[in-house]
């Protein structure tokens, strides 16, 4: 089961409680909730916040493809995965992404959690503009999108 | 033929709007569109090398959200997204 969404921070909140509720089931003995947050220092510059931009439809498509690969490539059939990524301005310390995973045993949960975030970094069209203490801001370089 | 180029990430600095419109000759390809985008940078941003570098490393996507390549034929008015290098999470 998959929940995949881009959260427009002007209209909605990204919500850990919702993630925990979604993955909660007595058939699963292991769960991992990964969150990415805005950190204060990047390349020796003091960061005050990040504006995230996204191609929403392609992001959702990439989340679905990554989820399908958990079965097709990693052969993990029994799992629940919750993925939300924000778009818009996020302040220092706030959450930009939640990946919540539940599986019957811990080994698969760790594998999925890591696989999903690494693949999102390579394949999901999301961009960051960092804002700094001196009121300067800059789009981060990023890496060319990887396609299958 | 009109192509509405949708802008994301660093490419948003190319316009105050979310898109740029290009008029292409009939039977054009994505390769032709890329040339037009680069000459747009020449005309509007004095050939800014940073902008050009980002465009050259960008991918492109069709209206139906598939990645398209240089030989993609543009035979009607449409939207095309330009996808600069990514880095979410």
Q: Please list the pLDDT of chain A residue by residue as tens digits (148 residues).
A: 999 999 999 999 999 999 999 999 999 999 999 999 999 999 899 999 999 999 999 999 999 999 999 999 999 999 999 999 999 999 999 999 999 999 999 999 999 999 999 999 999 999 999 999 988 999 999 999 987 6
Is B40 part of a structural domain of the chain?
yes
pLDDT at B3 over 90: yes
- Which one of 3.90.1170.40, 3.40.50.300, 3.40.1440.60, 3.40.50.800 gives the CATH number of domain A2-135? 3.90.1170.40
In the sheet that holds B2-6, the strands lie side by side as B19-23, B2-6, B78-83, B59-61, B67-68
The alpha-carbon gap from A27 to the nearest alpha carbon of chain B, in Å, equals 29
CA–CA distance from A137 to each of A71, A105, A130 (Å)? 40, 43, 5
User: If you ran DSSP here, which 8-state letter would residue A141 be given?
Assistant: -
Domain around B8 = 2-80
Q: CATH no. for residue B72?
A: 3.10.20
Query: Tens of pLDDT along A69-105?
Result: 999 999 999 999 999 999 999 999 999 999 999 999 9
Query: Tens of pLDDT along B5-38?
Result: 999 999 999 999 999 999 999 889 999 999 999 9
The answer for A142, left when phi > 0, alpha when psi is -120 to 50, beta otherwise, is left
Instruction: Name chain A contacts of B67, Cβ cutoff 8 Å.
Output: 145, 147
**Interface with chain A: mutation pick from B59, B86, B87, highest number of A CBs within 10 Å:** B86
The DSSP element (H or E) to which A109 belongs, if any, is helix A106-123
What confidence score (pLDDT) does residue A148 get? 60
Nearest partner of A71 among A80, A60, A61, A62, judged by Cα: A80
- B24 contact partners, CB below 8 Å, separation of at least 6: B1, B2, B3, B32, B33, B36, B74
CA–CA distance from A17 to each of A22, A24, A98, B89 (Å)? 9, 11, 11, 19
Is B88 part of a structural domain of the chain?
no
CA A143 from centre of chain: 17
pLDDT at B48 over 70: yes
Cβ(B23)–Cβ(B36) under 8 Å? no
How many domains does chain B fold into? 1
Query: Tens of pLDDT along B51-87?
Result: 999 999 999 999 999 999 999 999 999 999 999 999 8
The alpha-carbon gap from A58 to the nearest alpha carbon of chain B, in Å, equals 6
C-beta atoms of B9 and A127 within 8 A:
yes
Instruction: Name chain B contacts of A96, Cβ cutoff 8 Å.
Output: 88-89
Is B64 part of a structural domain of the chain?
yes
Residue spans of the domains in chain A: they are 2-135
Is B22 part of a structural domain of the chain?
yes
User: If you ran DSSP here, which 8-state letter would residue A23 be given?
Assistant: H
What confidence score (pLDDT) does residue B89 get? 78
The DSSP-derived string for B7-67 is --GGGGGG-SSSEEEEE--SSEEHHHHHHHHHHHHHHHHTT-HHHHHHHHT-EEE-TTS-E
Instruction: Name chain B contacts of A121, Cβ cutoff 8 Å.
Output: 86-89
What confidence score (pLDDT) does residue B88 get? 77
What confidence score (pLDDT) does residue A39 get? 95
B39: confidence class by pLDDT, cuts 50, 70, 90: very high
d(CA B43, CA B55): 15
């Amino acid at each position: 089961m998959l929940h995949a969404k881009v959260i427009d921070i002007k209209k909605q909140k990204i919500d850990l409680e919702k993630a925990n509720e979604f993955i909660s089931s007595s058939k699963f003995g292991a769960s991992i909730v990964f969150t990415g947050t805005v950190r204060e220092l990047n390349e020796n510059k003091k960061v005050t916040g990040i504006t995230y931009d996204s191609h929403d439809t392609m992001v959702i498509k990439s989340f679905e493809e990554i989820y399908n690969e958990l079965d097709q490539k990693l052969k993990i059939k029994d799992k629940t995965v919750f993925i939300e990524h924000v778009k818009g301005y996020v302040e220092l310390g706030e959450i930009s992404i939640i990946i919540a995973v539940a599986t019957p045993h811990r080994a698969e949960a760790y594998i999925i959690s890591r696989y999903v975030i690494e693949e999102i970094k390579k394949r999901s069209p999301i961009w960051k503009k960092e804002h700094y203490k001196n009121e300067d801001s800059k789009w981060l370089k990023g890496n060319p999108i990887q396609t299958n | 033929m009109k192509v509405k180029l949708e802008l994301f990430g660093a490419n948003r600095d190319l316009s105050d709007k979310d898109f740029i419109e290009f008029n292409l000759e009939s039977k054009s390809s994505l390769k032709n569109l890329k040339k037009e985008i680069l000459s747009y940078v020449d005309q509007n941003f004095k050939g800014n090398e940073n902008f050009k570098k980002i465009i050259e490393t960008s991918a492109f996507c069709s209206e139906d959200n598939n990645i398209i390549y240089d030989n993609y034929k543009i035979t009607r008015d449409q939207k095309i997204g330009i996808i600069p290098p990514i880095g979410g999470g």
